[in-house]
Amino acid sequence: MVDKTTSDARRSRTTAMRVMLAILFPQFAFGVSFAWIGLAPYAVRQSHWSLTVIEAIYALTPLSSAVTFLFSGLLATKLTPRRFCWLGVGALVLGQGVAFIFPNEFTFIVFYAVLALGVGYGLTLAASLAAVAQVFPKHLGTVGGVLVGAYALATLVEVPIMNGLAAASNWINALRIVGTIVTILAVLALTLMPALPRSNERPVKGIIPFSLLKQHRIATAVLLEIVIVPLGSYALSQVGIYAQDLGLVAWVGTVAVLAASLGNLLGRFLVGLASDYVSVDRMLFVLVILDAVAGILLWRTSTAAVLIVAAGVVGFSCGGLVGTVPRMAADVLSGAFNSISGLLFAAFALGGFIGPLLGSTLGNGSLAWLVLSLISSTGIVIIILRLIHANHSLRKDAAAIKQPVQV
């Protein structure tokens, strides 16, 4: 009996390690999407691509992943996590392959931005979360935070390498080299994924789970993602340029981008970790306040120190918000984890699409920072209403328990 228990424990640890390796490396591969911010000027200068195409490539990645996430709950009930992951990584391989072999504006919009980094990312992350829910049910927040953190880690590792290669040679060669290497690693890692059963949760009514929005906690969580994320996504893409527009020395813009990227990474990991031990609602309240205050500071500041700190805080809030998703999805409604997490990640990706688009529409100046900060500030009202509703529900449940049963 002891030998059997020891053998089962060893098998469980091996399965957990194989799952972690299989899901982390693909996220690192999809993180090349962050590189487009730095490579875009080279694409304009070296390949003479239009700014409209450059912006379309950047914007269509989160938009296509948002649409993909909406169907992830249904797919999790139809496919095993391993097949689900291969479907997503297959989209990455096919999309990148076409774009790298035939690099032009059309292939980069359709195959690179939409298929590889949009649809592929959405499928792979949803499949990875389905595996995490089975293997790490008690540590969803921690493992989920590590998972989404691996995606953001590319900002600090892959982007500097690609920018260096693009400056020394050619932007498409730089993207081919780094993109191919991390994709090969993702494919090799995915071969380690053990055979896990498909999700046994009952599919939510409808192909797209909009019926979940009838739940107050889910609806407010979706709204928070949509109003908070745009400021963070805009900061990640524009804070360096904003520092130059303010007339600050060149290194300030670089450090501000680094602060926003590092804050985003830490927020994803640390808040994900904390969500296993601290109330998600309390963390959401703190994140919303931090984001609103930092956004106003970015709009009003003209000093280097304030700009750098505020950029880091906005990045942390944005990353922290996505770090809460796995645990929040599990706590809100039992038996619908994949559908809820897909809906919340879709809202996050939609916010990532809205931020740069709205900022560009407003001229990428102080007005853009003001409007995005005001939108972020509406999150304070949403989280207060969410907390009031939660408190009311607790009192109602307590009263129902105390009420004597009539015989």
- Burial label, 131 (beta-carbon count in 10 A; 0-12, 13-18, 19+): buried
- Residue the block writes with tokens 């035939």: 102
pLDDT in tens, 271-313: 999 999 988 888 999 999 999 999 999 888 888 899 999 999 9
Of the pLDDT bands very low, low, confident and very high (cuts 50, 70, 90), residue 240 is confident
Of the pLDDT bands very low, low, confident and very high (cuts 50, 70, 90), residue 253 is confident
Of the candidates 95, 384, 101, 366, the one whose C-alpha atom is nearest the C-alpha of residue 223 is: 384
pLDDT in tens, 12-70: 888 889 999 999 999 989 988 888 877 888 888 888 888 888 888 888 999 999 999 99
Give the residue, 133 or 207, on which the prediction is more confident: 133
Distance between CA atoms of 169 and 317, rounded to whole angstroms? 36
- Residue the block writes with tokens 């853009």: 368
Q: What is the pLDDT of residue 181?
A: 94
C-beta of residue 185 within 8 angstroms of C-beta of residue 31: no
pLDDT in tens, 368-397: 999 999 999 999 999 888 888 777 766 665
Could you tell me where the DSSP H helices lie in 48-170?
51-70, 72-78, 81-101, 105-107, 120-135, 140-168
Q: What is the pLDDT of residue 364?
A: 82
Q: Sketch the domain layout of the chain as residue ranges.
A: 7-194, 208-397
CA angle at 265 for the pair 260 and 266, rounded to the nearest 5°: 100
pTM of this structure: 0.88
Q: What is the pLDDT of residue 122?
A: 94
pLDDT at 10 over 80: no
Share of the chain above pLDDT 90, in %: 44
- Amino acid letter for position 309: V
Share of the chain above pLDDT 70, in %: 93
Measured CA distances, 49 to 39, 44, 46, 169, 176 (Å): 12, 5, 8, 17, 18
What's the rounded mean pLDDT across residues 134-160?
88
Q: What is the pLDDT of residue 7?
A: 65
User: In this structure, is the dihedral angle defined by the CA atoms of residues 125, 70, 33 and 156, taken in order, positive or negative?
Assistant: negative
Which CATH code fits 7-194? 1.20.1250.20
Average per-residue pLDDT in the chain? 87
Q: What is the pLDDT of residue 407?
A: 42
What separation, in Å, do the N-terminal and C-terminal C-alpha atoms of the chain show? 49
Three-state SS for 110? helix
pLDDT in tens, 107-136: 999 999 999 999 999 999 999 999 998 889
Task: Write the CB contacts of 306 (distance below 8 Å, at least 6 apart in sequence).
Answer: 297
Q: What is the pLDDT of residue 404?
A: 54
Here the tokens at position 179 are 């993109």
pLDDT at 180 over 90: yes
Q: Answer yes or no: same fold for 7-194 and 208-397.
A: yes
Fold of the domain spanning 208-397: Growth Hormone; Chain: A; (1.20.1250)
What's the rounded mean pLDDT across residues 327-341?
84
Buried b (16+ CB within 10 A) or exposed e, 147-156: bbbbbbbbbe
- Burial label, 363 (beta-carbon count in 10 A; 0-12, 13-18, 19+): exposed
pLDDT in tens, 153-169: 887 888 888 888 888 88
How many CB atoms lie under 10 A from the CB of residue 304? 17
pLDDT at 328 over 80: yes
CA angle at 48 for the pair 46 and 53, rounded to the nearest 5°: 120
